[in-house]
Amino acid sequence: MTGTRGVDTAQLMEQLSVSLAAYYGDFTVAAASENLTASQGKTLNVLRRGPAAMRVLASILTCDASNMTGIVDRLEKRGLVQREPSPTDRRVKNVVLTAEGERVIDVIRGKMHTTRAGLDRLSDQERDTLHDLLERAFTAQPAAA
């Protein structure tokens, strides 16, 4: 009765897609309540970790660099982010959250009730385990050398 249920990779990927759709839907609704599109919300969410060059944002969000120009334009027009010239490379523009941008993304994260409620169904130890498994599966370096 221990671990021999036999979930194959296809079933796990299916569960992943369902889970991520739930998370993504929750996030999209929360972002919309602050009058932001999903892409704008995702951009703010990435910037929570700190300033990032346009190129880096595009890479994380898996889109063309030219696409980021428009998204950041609109966020900047609303005063949620700001473009700052890189001190080391004058081609680069670092995008930074403003205080208002920080407030908005925190509000959005706070409104993700469905996700929060789901995670609350797990014990402390189970949350640790989930964090660890996701980290190892998705955040690991492919190869060092």
Partner DNA sequence: CGTCGATGCTTGAGAACTTCAAGCAATTGC
Partner DNA sequence: GCAATTGCTTGAAGTTCTCAAGCATCGACG
Least spacing, CB of residue 68 vs DNA, in Å: 6
Query: Considering only 60-68, 69-77, 78-86, 90-98, which stretch makes contact with a second copy by CB under 8 A?
Result: 60-68
- The option from DNA, a second copy, none interacting with 93 (CB < 5 to 8 A, set by class) reads DNA
- The option from a second copy, DNA, none interacting with 83 (CB < 5 to 8 A, set by class) reads DNA
Residues in binding contact with a second copy, number by CB under 8 A: 56
Give yes or no for residue 141 binding a second copy (CB under 8 A): no
Residues 6+ apart with CB under 8 A from 72: 43, 54, 57, 81, 83, 95
**83 membership: H or E segment, kind and range:** strand 81-85
Token representation of residue 77 = 């027009």
Give yes or no for residue 13 binding a second copy (CB under 8 A): yes
